[in-house]
Amino acid sequence: MISGAKLANNPETQATDCIYLFAICINLRGKNDRFLHFIQKYVYLCNSLYNYNMVYNEIGKTGMLVSNLSLGASSLGGVFHGIREEEGIRAVHVAVDNGINFIDVSPYYGHLKAETVLGKALKEIPRDKYFLSTKVGRYGKDGVNTWDYSAKRATESVYESMERLNVDYIDLINVHDIEFQAGMEGGLQKICDETLPALVELKRKGVVGHVGITDLQPENLKWVIEHCEEGTVESILNFCHYSLNDTLLADYLGFFEQQGVGVINASPLSMGLLSQRGAPLWHPASRDLKNACAKAAAYCQEKGYPIEKLAIQFSTSLNPRIATTLFSSANPENVLKNINYVNEPLDEQLVSEVQAIIGDQMFVRWKNS
């Protein structure tokens, strides 16, 4: 019990007071040293509840209450197709103006371009209106992909990202696509022994708020959590495994919950497989899976129900243990469209029909590339 705590009679003020008390509790349990930083975000969130229909969930035990639909900024780097920078910046503003408060990016996306464009967009947005997530370990320059999970490079990368993003603090820092380190010297153990400790040290210094890991393969995420000191990994980000064609992530939710690790789902469109446009040329999925998803998309189009709508609704509405689902778009109209999709009821019959069309290609996996 907090001595002297009293709630106002006005419902809106009362809700704001509750947010203040929640932030105090977070501080008391030692989960965050940046007390004012979180208070500001929760007050903003409280006010948002009166303006948006968005649902907000806590990522694990981080204290970060995030919108159940969040913005992935890979599209700002032209990962899926070319973009117009001004339009991409406006897409970020539309997302935040309509209740999205969690944005994820990486220096790898567009080989620094996504962070650079996002940084320009964030210049015009108050820092207390969003939680920011970026990554270390996977990079690229001059069209060449590189990987470096060393402590030194991870630390340098965080400061470089902050400069590009025009911020002095990162809410969530992730080790990016750990499966690549699995095939390098030191294996996944290096993530536990070197990369994560470097990020935890930055957390101790107040440079970052929380530490997570990301990967396409959920078994790798589980392995690292099991081989690290308890509490080191506060969240995981897994992509393409809680979507219409693959719900493998669901098999691991119990484990993550037991460990107190928050779950972020990404790519409800399965990196473009579940879209009218179709998967980009570089997509590593098999031809059979691409064809099956294309047939499903055509079927949805005949029904007058875009498969993108069904995919977004499916990934955000069926599992409360997933804190948020990241989608990516550099188109302001598509951002608003996706937000509206979340507020409409899911056609579960159509889900069954689409999954029947995908048929034996359900749960077919691919290696990251």
- pLDDT, tens only, 183-207: 999 999 999 999 999 999 999 999 9
Is the pLDDT confidence value at 225 over 80? yes
Query: 206-216 burial, b if ≥16 CB within 10 A, otherwise e?
Result: ebbbbbbbbbb
Average pLDDT value for the chain:
89
Contacts of 166 (CB under 8 A, 6+ apart): 119, 120, 122, 123
**One-letter identity of residue 300:** C
Alpha carbon distance 51, 113 (integer Å): 32
* Residue in 140, 161, 157 with CA at minimum distance from that of residue 149: 157
Q: What is the CA radius of gyration of the chain?
A: 20
Q: Identify each DSSP E strand in the chain by its residue range.
A: 56-58, 65-67, 69-72, 102-104, 131-136, 138-141, 144-147, 170-175, 208-215, 235-239, 262-266, 324-328
**Which among 109, 139, 252, 341 is annotated as catalytic?**
109
Contacts of 186 (CB under 8 A, 6+ apart): 193, 194
Alpha carbon distance 315, 265 (integer Å): 8
Beta carbons of 138 and 147 less than 8 angstroms apart: yes
Assign 102 a pLDDT band (cuts: 50, 70, 90).
very high
Alpha carbon distance 73, 183 (integer Å): 27
Alpha carbon distance 68, 323 (integer Å): 6
Count CA within 13 A, CB hemisphere, residue 368.
20
Is the pLDDT confidence value at 10 over 50? no
* Residue in 134, 129, 130, 119 with CA at minimum distance from that of residue 214: 134
The predicted structure's pLDDT at residue 296:
98
The predicted structure's pLDDT at residue 239:
97
pTM over 0.85: yes
Two tokens, residue 287: 């031809």
Length of the chain in residues, anyone?
Answer: 369
What tens digit of pLDDT does each residue of 353-366 get? 999 999 999 999 98
What tens digit of pLDDT does each residue of 177-187 get? 999 999 999 99
Assign 21 a pLDDT band (cuts: 50, 70, 90).
low
109 is catalytic: yes
Contacts of 225 (CB under 8 A, 6+ apart): 213, 233, 236, 255, 256, 259, 261
The predicted structure's pLDDT at residue 28:
46
Assign 369 a pLDDT band (cuts: 50, 70, 90).
confident
Question: In this predicted structure, which of 62-66, 208-212, 276-280 has the lowest mean pLDDT?
Answer: 276-280
